[in-house]
Chain A
Amino acid sequence: NAGVMQNPRHLVRRRGQEARLRCSPMKGHSHVYWYRQLPEEGLKFMVYLQKENIIDESGMPKERFSAEFPKEGPSILRIQQVVRGDSAAYFCASSPSTDFYEQYFGPGTRLTVT
Chain B
Amino acid sequence: GDSVTQMEGPVTLSEEAFLTINCTYTATGYPSLFWYVQYPGEGLQLLLKATKADDKGSNKGFEATYRKETTSFHLEKGSVQVSDSAVYFCARAAGNKLTFGGGTRVLVKP
Which residues of A are found within 8 Å of B73, using beta-carbon distances? Answer: none
Is B99 positioned at the interface, with any CB of A under 8 Å from its CB? yes
Q: A107 and B96 in contact (CB under 8 A), knowing A41-B102, A102-B49?
A: no
Which residues of B are found within 8 Å of A66, using beta-carbon distances? Answer: none
Closest chain A residue, CB of each to CB of B34:
A101
Chain B interface SS verdict (over half) = strand
The digit string for B91-110, where 1 denotes a CB below 8 A from any CB of A, is 00101111111110000000
Let me know if B97 and A43 touch, CB within 8 A: no
Is B44 positioned at the interface, with any CB of A under 8 Å from its CB? yes
Q: Which residues of A come within 8 Å of B, CB atoms?
A: 4, 6, 33, 35, 41-45, 48, 55-56, 59, 91, 93, 100-108
Give 24 pairs: A residue, B residue, CB < 8 Å, sorted on A: A4-B43, A33-B97, A33-B98, A41-B102, A41-B103, A42-B89, A43-B89, A43-B98, A44-B100, A45-B98, A48-B97, A56-B95, A56-B96, A56-B97, A59-B97, A91-B43, A93-B44, A101-B32, A101-B34, A101-B49, A101-B98, A102-B46, A103-B46, A103-B98
Is B45 positioned at the interface, with any CB of A under 8 Å from its CB? yes
Which residues of B are found within 8 Å of A59, using beta-carbon distances? Answer: 97
Which residues of B are found within 8 Å of A93, using beta-carbon distances? Answer: 44
Give complex CA distance A107, B32 in Å: 24
Give complex CA distance A102, B34 in Å: 9
